[in-house]
């Protein structure tokens, strides 16, 4: 990459925003010395430039630089005579990684996109997520050495993103490793941008910056990898990124709403790589975990009133498994009580406050897997069978019923349901749903079975 071209591009933009006096005074004699380890070293002519630029223009410079390169550079301003010293310091800090922790840390405020709110301390552990939690913690304590990659999957709202940020925050707190969190959508956008043509016709290699951003790190956290499906070139690039980091023993952490095998739209070579380390399923929270989460959220929200146990029980048995909805219900309940003039929170008030919330939430609360499980149990077949392509009628009939219930009780589309049933064509699902709908009308026994199953699933 050509540093002079890059710097003159940045200066061009800065020039547009300043008076020519300011520009000439502060910028005309500057030079981009090098880009390394997410740091941009800029040489300035005098000490006064250093101070003035830092105090007044560092945000502007960083913004332009990171905009153009799509990276997370931090700024280091140097006088020419300081270069040698700085190089020595870098060399030393590389060698005494930990001894010199404070110094190193202050030098590496790279933007890792981590949300400080999500840490291990406020992640509540129960049976459904304890394996995921333990795996996450051991990766956090030992990045690159324990499980690589760590692949977390489960339905929406079960705490995947929270755990991933917790890992990143933990690593940053306890080491000087560089962590980058992105969603797969962000990765895709960065890659597309990296391939754009430069409008000014300069020979400018954006892809170098992209590679620098994604390969010059110790930990890559990539959220919701399922959205990379369908983006062939981004997948290819991710494949290379993965190999590069993996071969250097850099930690990779991936999340998805489904298991690697079910990521049908991803290339095989990616899917197999995802299973090289540890694959962990995070399950919907059990009742006791839900009540605990509710209680902690109430405490964390600094809510003065005690919320009675029967209210907590009511919420826990009617809302979820999406933890986001549990949180939403607490917020709503508290807001409702406030609007009613600080009325005491009772079960009656809760039922009233959450009326719409609960009936609206029903669609989301019955996920496809739960329905498959309940229907399989009822017909005494295995969940694997109900999800398989087997055609014998003792399996295909329950399967059709399960598909019908998925359509009736969740918000999932036909194609999504088809994927959950062994990747069938979505017209098969449409056909099954229609068939059961028609049969219920004429077959009282079947209608009763469906009613019973709906009760078990929890809608009626």
Residues 256-315 that bind ligand ADP (CB under 6 A): 293
Residue (of 241, 119, 250, 284) closest to 178 by Cα position: 250
Residue (of 457, 449, 429) closest to 365 by Cα position: 457
User: Which partner from the list ligand ADP, Mg ion, none does 182 bind, CB cut-off 5 to 8 Å by kind?
Assistant: none
User: Which partner from the list ligand ADP, Mg ion, none does 143 bind, CB cut-off 5 to 8 Å by kind?
Assistant: none
**What is the largest distance, in Å, between two alpha-carbon atoms of the chain?**
90
φ and ψ of 21, to 5 deg: -60, -50
Residue closer to ligand ADP, measured from CB, 45 or 126: 126
Residue closer to ligand ADP, measured from CB, 129 or 169: 129
User: Which partner from the list ligand ADP, Mg ion, none does 107 bind, CB cut-off 5 to 8 Å by kind?
Assistant: none
**Cβ at position 450, least distance to ligand ADP in Å:** 30
User: Which partner from the list ligand ADP, Mg ion, none does 220 bind, CB cut-off 5 to 8 Å by kind?
Assistant: none
Which residue has the CB atom at the shortest distance from Mg ion? 161
**Cβ at position 156, least distance to ligand ADP in Å:** 4
User: Which partner from the list ligand ADP, Mg ion, none does 379 bind, CB cut-off 5 to 8 Å by kind?
Assistant: none
User: Which listed range, 45-53, 123-131, 195-203, 391-399, lies at the site for ligand ADP (CB under 6 A)?
Assistant: 123-131
- Tell whether residue 157 is a contact of ligand ADP (CB under 6 A): yes
Report whether 320 contacts 290 (CB < 8 A).
Answer: yes
In whole angstroms, give the CA distance from residue 402 to residue 435: 12
Residues making contact with Mg ion (CB under 5 A)? 160-161
In whole angstroms, give the CA distance from residue 117 to residue 369: 30
State yes or no: cis peptide before 149, omega within 30 of 0: yes
Residue closer to Mg ion, measured from CB, 161 or 169: 161
Residue closer to Mg ion, measured from CB, 155 or 176: 155
φ and ψ of 251, to 5 deg: -75, 135
Counting Cα atoms < 13 Å in the Cβ hemisphere of 356 gives: 5
Report whether 425 contacts 418 (CB < 8 A).
Answer: yes
**Cβ at position 47, least distance to ligand ADP in Å:** 46
User: Which partner from the list Mg ion, ligand ADP, none does 394 bind, CB cut-off 5 to 8 Å by kind?
Assistant: none
Q: What is the sign of the dihedral through the CA atoms of 75, 79, 83 and 88?
A: negative
Counting Cα atoms < 13 Å in the Cβ hemisphere of 274 gives: 25
User: Which listed range, 7-15, 115-123, 208-216, 423-431, lies at the site for ligand ADP (CB under 6 A)?
Assistant: 115-123
Binding residue for ligand ADP, selected from 71, 112, 129, 291, defined by CB under 6 A: 129
In whole angstroms, give the CA distance from residue 333 to residue 343: 11
Residue closer to ligand ADP, measured from CB, 76 or 334: 334
- Tell whether residue 365 is a contact of ligand ADP (CB under 6 A): no
- Tell whether residue 113 is a contact of ligand ADP (CB under 6 A): no
Report whether 277 contacts 165 (CB < 8 A).
Answer: no
User: Which partner from the list Mg ion, ligand ADP, none does 124 bind, CB cut-off 5 to 8 Å by kind?
Assistant: ligand ADP
CA angle centred on 370, ends 411 and 158, rounded to 5°: 75
Structure tokens at 292: 């605990």
Binding residue for ligand ADP, selected from 159, 320, 361, 398, defined by CB under 6 A: 159
Structure tokens at 336: 């409702």
Pairing of strands 150-153, 278-281: parallel
User: Which partner from the list ligand ADP, Mg ion, none does 129 bind, CB cut-off 5 to 8 Å by kind?
Assistant: ligand ADP
In whole angstroms, give the CA distance from residue 169 to residue 125: 18
- Tell whether residue 158 is a contact of ligand ADP (CB under 6 A): yes
Residues that bind ligand ADP (CB under 6 A): 118, 122-124, 129, 156-162, 293, 323-324, 327
């Amino acid at each position: 990459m050509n540093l002079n071209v890059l710097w003159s591009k940045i200066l061009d933009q800065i020039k547009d925003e300043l008076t020519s006096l300011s520009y000439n005074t502060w910028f005309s004699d500057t030079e981009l010395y090098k880009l390394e380890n997410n740091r941009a070293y800029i040489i300035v002519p005098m000490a006064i430039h250093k101070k003035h630029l830092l105090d007044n223009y560092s945000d502007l410079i960083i913004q332009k630089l990171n905009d153009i390169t799509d990276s997370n550079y931090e700024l280091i301003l140097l006088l020419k005579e300081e270069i040698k010293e700085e190089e020595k310091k870098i060399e030393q800090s590389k060698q005494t990684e930990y001894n010199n922790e404070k110094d190193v840390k202050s030098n590496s405020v790279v933007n890792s996109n981590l949300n400080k709110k999500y840490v291990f301390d406020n992640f509540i552990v129960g049976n459904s997520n304890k394996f995921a939690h333990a795996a996450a913690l051991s990766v956090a304590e030992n990045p690159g050495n324990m499980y690589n990659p760590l692949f977390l999957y489960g339905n929406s709202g079960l705490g995947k993103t929270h755990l991933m940020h917790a890992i990143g925050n933990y690593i940053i707190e306890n080491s000087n490793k560089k962590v980058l969190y992105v969603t797969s959508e962000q990765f895709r956008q960065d890659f597309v941008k990296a391939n754009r043509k430069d409008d000014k016709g300069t020979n400018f290699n954006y892809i170098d910056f992209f590679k620098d951003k994604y390969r010059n790190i110790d930990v890559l956290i990539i959220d919701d990898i399922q959205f990379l499906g369908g983006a062939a070139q981004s997948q290819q690039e991710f494949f290379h990124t993965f190999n590069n980091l993996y071969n250097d023993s850099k930690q990779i952490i991936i999340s998805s709403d489904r298991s690697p095998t079910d990521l049908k739209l991803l290339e095989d070579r990616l899917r197999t790589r995802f299973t090289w380390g540890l694959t962990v399923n995070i399950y919907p929270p059990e009742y006791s975990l839900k009540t605990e989460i509710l209680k902690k959220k109430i405490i964390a929200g600094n809510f003065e009133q005690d919320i009675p146990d029967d209210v907590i029980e009511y919420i826990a048995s009617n809302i979820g498994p999406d933890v986001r909805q549990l949180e939403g219900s607490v917020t709503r309940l508290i807001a409702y009580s406030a609007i009613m003039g600080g009325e005491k929170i009772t079960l009656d008030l809760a039922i009233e406050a959450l009326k719409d919330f609960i009936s609206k939430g029903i669609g989301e609360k019955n996920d496809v897997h739960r329905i498959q499980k309940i229907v399989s149990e009822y017909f005494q077949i295995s969940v694997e069978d109900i999800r398989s392509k087997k055609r014998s009628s003792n399996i295909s009939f329950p399967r059709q019923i399960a598909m019908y219930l998925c359509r009736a009780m969740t918000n999932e589309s036909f194609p999504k349901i088809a994927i959950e049933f062994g990747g069938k064509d979505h017209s098969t699902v449409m056909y099954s749903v229609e068939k059961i709908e028609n049969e219920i009308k004429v077959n009282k026994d079947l209608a009763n079975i469906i009613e019973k199953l709906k009760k078990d699933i929890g809608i009626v």
